[in-house]
Structure 1
Amino acid sequence: MLFIAVLTVCFGSFVQTVIGFGMAVIAAPILFYLNPEYVPGPIIFAALFNCLANVYRFRSSLSISGLKSAIIGRIPGCIVGAGLLVVASQHYLAILIAISILCAVVMNLFKFSLPVNNRNLFWAGFLSGVMGMSTSIGGPPIALVVQSEKASFIRANLAGFFLFSCVTSLMILIPMGIFTYEHLLLSLPLLPATLMGNYIAYHVVDYVNKTLIRYGTLCLCIVAVILMLIKVLS
């Protein structure tokens, strides 16, 4: 079981490094079926190290001003998502989120794109916070907004955004008792796998262009929809 968990996290880390997001989309559902305690805390803790490595690797393309609106939106989104974990039915919440992602994918396929401005980044950050806290899959909203940017911008700034997101989520999960010392111990074997995924990705990342990132983003968004619906309908 641990081998499957490690392999899954390594592949998820590889994908996130190459296209900018996707670690939770790939790893969270599999880890949940292996051991529900992996989600959300340990997978977020592992993703934190992926983001740290990527922020350092792609630091020359990092734009703090570009991140600001998304980060501001992420904070209330995390709070709302944490509240929904307590008071709302995950069944209906996940269906609503899945429909929202699917609409975004369809709009993108028909060449409808949102401009990268402060308003759209704020709401993408907000939705990412709600989804990340309530379903553990928070990447699609922000990735869909920035996908038209340069590949280096996407990787660097999504890494910066998700780094902040991981820290914020853990700060909320710890006092809620959802990320404890036992969860920390469960996370530790995942860290070498995370960094190995980063290392492998760095050797191929220069061969992945913006077109591949766009289609990779859309495919992972569709996967996220399917996995969330399977989770709530099963």
Structure 2
Amino acid sequence: MAEVAALGLGAWLVCAFAVFCGTFLQRLTGQGFGMVAAPIIALVAPEFLPAALLLLGTAVGLGATAFDRGAVARDELPAGFAGRAVGAVLATLIALALPDAAAFSAVVALVVYLGIALSLLGVRVEIRPATLFPAGVVAGLMGTLTAVGAPPMALLYQHEEQRRSAAMQNTFFAWGMVVSIASLAVAGLVRWPHVVLAVTLLPVSLVAIRASRPIARRVARASIRPYALTLAGLAATVLLLKQIL
């Protein structure tokens, strides 16, 4: 509790802003939570990443999935789920080797850049087990290390109908958060301060999910994606410059 209190109100409000924006975008598009929230939080509270954000992401993913569960194609889940689990285990081994918060912050920034690049690719990839599994592995690696795991699945589902795309991505996102936090917990990388910060920010996520409901019916995914990518890119750039300068 003392570590969370030591953040101060200003840093907590920055975290709350990041979580609200990330949750809002995640609900509408099936991606954006980690890509937006992780680099912003890393600026003020890198010691709480990725565990606190993964804990929050579990609630965000489940809440977002609940609204569009009728659009979830269950036959596509096993391969993606398996890949995400494998990626989470591999990422935990890497996380144990990261030397300090500065190195982790640099990893966050670079993964966000990779996520933006993947999101901007216009290639069409057939959705089948042979593509879902490797996409899940990459998402598990990215998501467990930095809480930015959506881009690989977003690449697969970017040409699908909006509701189906968001539903599938949110489902993979929720599962990914669960396996990632479980893997980190087994490795001893989840501590009580992470849990406390996540609990204090949970109401912010719930408000964001609620606020997105009326907008979800009117706003097309393509119309907000540029803003999400711009915000994520700016945050990652500031974070990277902070480590260099």
- How does the TM-score come out when normalised to structure 2? 0.81
Unaligned stretches of 5+ residues in structure 1: none
Q: What secondary structure sits across from 2:217 in the alignment?
A: helix
**1:53-111 Cα shifts (integer Å, max 9, x gaps):** 11211111112212221111111111111112234686897798567556645642xxx
Q: Report the count of equivalent residues.
A: 231
- CA shift, 1:148, in A, is 0.8
For residue 9 of structure 1, the aligned residue among 13, 19, 23 is 19
Q: What secondary structure sits across from 1:124 in the alignment?
A: helix
Q: 1:230 to 1:78 in 2, by over 3 A?
A: farther
- CA shift, 1:48, in A, is 1.1
Question: 2:156 corresponds to which letter in structure 1?
Answer: V
1:133 maps onto 2:133 in alignment: no
Question: 1:29 corresponds to which letter in structure 2?
Answer: P
Question: Counterparts in 2 of 1:1-234, with a 5 A limit?
Answer: 1=10, 2-87=12-97, 101=115, 104-105=118-119, 107-108=121-122, 112-209=123-220, 211-212=222-223, 233=244
Question: 1:118 corresponds to which letter in structure 2?
Answer: P
Question: 2:147 corresponds to which letter in structure 1?
Answer: S
- Mapped to 1, the partners of 2:139 and 2:238 lie a distance apart of 17
Q: 1:193 to 1:169 in 2, by over 3 A?
A: same
- CA shift, 1:135, in A, is 2.7
RMSD across aligned C-alpha pairs, in angstroms?
A: 2.8
- Mapped to 2, the partners of 1:212 and 1:155 lie a distance apart of 14
Q: What secondary structure sits across from 1:174 in the alignment?
A: helix
Which residue number in structure 1 is paired with residue 6 of structure 2? none
- Mapped to 1, the partners of 2:214 and 2:163 lie a distance apart of 15
- Mapped to 1, the partners of 2:200 and 2:63 lie a distance apart of 17
- CA shift, 1:45, in A, is 1.0
Greater shift, 92-101 or 16-25, is seen at 92-101
**Counterpart contact for 2:27–2:212, Cα < 8 Å:** yes
Question: 2:142 corresponds to which letter in structure 1?
Answer: M
Question: 2:177 corresponds to which letter in structure 1?
Answer: C
Seq. identity, %: 24
Q: 1:158 to 1:11 in 2, by over 3 A?
A: same
**Regions of 4+ moved over 3 Å:** 87-107, 210-234
**Counterpart contact for 2:26–2:64, Cα < 8 Å:** no
- How does the TM-score come out when normalised to structure 1? 0.84
**Counterpart contact for 2:36–2:228, Cα < 8 Å:** no
**Counterpart contact for 1:13–1:197, Cα < 8 Å:** yes
Q: 1:230 to 1:22 in 2, by over 3 A?
A: farther
**Counterpart contact for 1:25–1:223, Cα < 8 Å:** no
- Mapped to 1, the partners of 2:187 and 2:130 lie a distance apart of 30
- CA shift, 1:224, in A, is 8.4
- Mapped to 1, the partners of 2:208 and 2:78 lie a distance apart of 28
